[in-house]
Structure 1
């Protein structure tokens, strides 16, 4: 029983044929992602532009301010040097908001003592920062001019400028935050405007899927990108509807044309079986033809239900169907040392056509019989499930991994007949009736296939059971 398959997820054409909408969760997630990307683009653009502008403004302000201060200090210290050359007897000089120091040649050593950090400086302007003896931080600019006769120092206190720069930075980065928030609001509004026609198109497309005829979407939108998308969807829906219609007509025609010769075969077999002069060998062959005809009829009915995606109703006795299927396989064993038996209760009745139950259960039993060379195949009837247990070669890891691939034939298939679509039909029937089918390795050997019916479809005394 290693060659078992199941259908792959339905295609778009199959979902439309079954009036089944695409997964709403995925569609919503993608729509939200697009809206989020638009908002994020606005936020990043607003933050990037305002942040770059803030950095450029702050850099320009600091550069201009430093340049102005340095120019003033250079002019004043040059003026002090010229004044000293003209009047060496008056070395002092004063500048607004600046402190000037002049040390003649005989006082150079005092600079080493009082201002050791100034002693090694050469001509130029330096930024001096640190912490004073009182623990307070200081920041000033120092202009230095050294001549053989005198050293000139001009200090400009930058504490107030530093406080002003900190305030300016807080103000400008607050502006960055405000403009970023404004970009968020603008992005939110723009994303809503941009996504509004897309959302409307999605809603109309969702509503149009509830009817058999596609709705004309392009007429509800202007001739823009969304309108072009709606027009493309209309064209796609029209072509898809034609494909689905042809598929349904083909299934209906095939079903009708096959039922006619099967009905002729059924009638002819019944007439032959009613004759008293039929020998036992011929009777067995006629019974085999009758079972094959019934199997074909059930299969055609099940496939027609699948093609229409329609749930048929009925009150099918699962135990009775399983017994009939086991009888049919017993007649085809041909001396194979295999025991087929039915175990469990006999009260399991489901709300489904007998053809659907027979096809689903028949594939499981057929696989078990086909791949079990000796031993037994046991069908156990439970409250809401049926287990088909065999003593065959089991289920290999490769078979388990590819169990639901359509057309896959197991490693134990060998040269046996079959196209590897056994559980494909079973899986589709389970999807239609919301049943469940599972295949797992047995406890010691073989394979256990379990067909579980959903609680609402299980009937008790002809009525639906609420469990």
Structure 2
């Protein structure tokens, strides 16, 4: 593990913390699904009514233009025909319709914006008495005479504007109505899913899962409930087998360990033991104690049960360091303990604390060939500081994965499951474990207790 000289914020670190509260993501996703259903209905209503309104306005405008233009053109043709028959005939004003005719010597008398127009129907704008108005103009230009028929469309334009407002109001109204229908439909659709989620939540604390399928009809939700029942049954069977196996193994292992413990105690009580025999018996005694603690911790993990107790972390750390001192061999390594007895007391079995802290101390001793390993107690946490090769970015990313062995583990023994057990214990007891590079070299492993009372993100 190469040393890291980056700043503390850039240093690689590995951390295992309590998982998020159960059901939070599920409830958030369910709200999103309901919102999507409501939004889909609202968008559908908006799209359909908007297209209908646009089509209605367009068709109405086209039909009106064609109808009015055709009528005006027919009137103009009729007027031109009667004018050629009797040039003294005049078209009597009819409501808002006006007719004009200009001969060869009178073309300049026509309105300026009419002169360049070719024969056809036009929508025009004008100003009369300072007020703007719109009108439709029909032009017929013969070689000898120019004919014009104009109809005031101001009132028609106002009607069109009111129709547009009515159509916009209809679009808004139908969109809101579609949203209300979507909300009602989403509630009806999501109600079985919510009931299914509530039943699943109610079965969290039960040893056997509650059957879900009988509570739902034979529809899609019923099929989902049946599939969940089948999955829960298979999962319960696996968990039950795992618990029975752990309990059986723990029970069967405790008997030979008790025999070993009794035999070692009897041998240690004999006088006249030489130093080599005494050291070996003490090593067997420490190994028996470690196995007993590990079995107790694994049994707690298999049952997902929090044990209780008043464990003095100082005393546990002292015992762990004493157990490692005879194993140092030729290593120029100093094991130190900083703190006071009774300062840090944890509400947990001694076996759980011993396994969690023992793995951190064991890793520090294993990877440090020379220097120091310091166990430092704080008010609510304990640090294990070593002067080893440090922590690489790859190790930090996979440190707590089961079966992972660090980049400096080639010449060491172990299966890479120690820190994964520490992580599981931290999840069970709501502790936090973090491993970061040291200030200059080595690694600092922190085991922090009572994380539930801390702010999120603290180590």
TM-score by structure 2 length? 0.91
SS at 2:447 equivalent? strand
Instruction: Determine whether 1:281 maps to 2:276.
Output: yes
8 Å Cα contact 2:15/2:432 also seen in 1: no
What residue is the counterpart of 1:383 in the other structure? Answer: 379
Structure 1 residues 424 and 442: CA distance shift in structure 2, 3 A = same
2:159 to 164, 170, 177: 164
| Residues 143-292 of structure 1: pairs in structure 2 closer than 5 A | 143-292=138-287
Cα distance in 2 between the residues matched to 1:448 and 1:22: 29
Cα distance in 2 between the residues matched to 1:374 and 1:135: 101
2:331 to 332, 336, 346: 336
TM-score by structure 1 length? 0.89
What residue is the counterpart of 1:465 in the other structure? Answer: none
Instruction: Determine whether 1:406 maps to 2:405.
Output: no
Identify which range, 57-66 or 73-82, moves more after superposition. 57-66
What residue is the counterpart of 2:48 in the other structure? Answer: 49
Instruction: Determine whether 1:88 maps to 2:84.
Output: no
Cα distance in 1 between the residues matched to 2:188 and 2:451: 47
Question: What does the per-residue CA deviation read over 1:187-244, in whole Å, with 9 as the maximum and x for residues that have no partner?
Answer: 1111111111111111111102221111111111111111111111111111111111
Cα distance in 1 between the residues matched to 2:47 and 2:438: 64
Instruction: Determine whether 1:326 maps to 2:321.
Output: yes
SS at 1:331 equivalent? helix
Query: Cα RMSD over matched residues?
Result: 2.3
What residue is the counterpart of 1:102 in the other structure? Answer: 101
8 Å Cα contact 2:334/2:371 also seen in 1: yes
8 Å Cα contact 1:439/1:449 also seen in 2: yes
SS at 1:106 equivalent? coil
In the TM superposition, residue 147 of structure 1 has moved relative to its aligned partner by 1.3
Structure 1 residues 97 and 134: CA distance shift in structure 2, 3 A = closer
8 Å Cα contact 1:8/1:406 also seen in 2: no
Cα distance in 1 between the residues matched to 2:190 and 2:451: 43
What residue is the counterpart of 1:444 in the other structure? Answer: 440
Structure 1 residues 222 and 415: CA distance shift in structure 2, 3 A = same
What residue is the counterpart of 2:420 in the other structure? Answer: 424
8 Å Cα contact 1:5/1:423 also seen in 2: no
Cα distance in 1 between the residues matched to 2:106 and 2:64: 34
Structure 1 residues 6 and 251: CA distance shift in structure 2, 3 A = farther
Structure 1 residues 390 and 433: CA distance shift in structure 2, 3 A = same
Cα distance in 2 between the residues matched to 1:36 and 1:224: 23
Cα distance in 1 between the residues matched to 2:149 and 2:307: 102
What residue is the counterpart of 1:33 in the other structure? Answer: 32
In the TM superposition, residue 456 of structure 1 has moved relative to its aligned partner by 9.3
Structure 1 residues 441 and 155: CA distance shift in structure 2, 3 A = same
Cα distance in 1 between the residues matched to 2:33 and 2:131: 54
What residue is the counterpart of 1:397 in the other structure? Answer: 393
Cα distance in 2 between the residues matched to 1:208 and 1:387: 40
Cα distance in 2 between the residues matched to 1:250 and 1:430: 23
Structure 1 residues 424 and 96: CA distance shift in structure 2, 3 A = same
Question: What does the per-residue CA deviation read over 1:28-81, in whole Å, with 9 as the maximum and x for residues that have no partner?
Answer: 111111111211121112112211111111112111111111111111110111
Identify which range, 139-148 or 278-287, moves more after superposition. 278-287
Structure 1 residues 45 and 89: CA distance shift in structure 2, 3 A = same
Structure 1 residues 214 and 455: CA distance shift in structure 2, 3 A = closer
Cα distance in 2 between the residues matched to 1:190 and 1:64: 39
SS at 1:127 equivalent? strand
8 Å Cα contact 2:16/2:433 also seen in 1: no
8 Å Cα contact 1:384/1:455 also seen in 2: no
Cα distance in 1 between the residues matched to 2:262 and 2:184: 73
Question: What does the per-residue CA deviation read over 1:308-364, in whole Å, with 9 as the maximum and x for residues that have no partner?
Answer: 111112222221211111111110011211111212111132222111111111111
8 Å Cα contact 1:342/1:378 also seen in 2: yes
Structure 1 residues 245 and 227: CA distance shift in structure 2, 3 A = same
Please list every run of 5 or more consecutive structure 2 residues that lacks an aligned counterpart in the other structure.
3-12, 454-459
What residue is the counterpart of 1:461 in the other structure? Answer: none
Cα distance in 1 between the residues matched to 2:128 and 2:403: 89
Cα distance in 2 between the residues matched to 1:349 and 1:148: 115
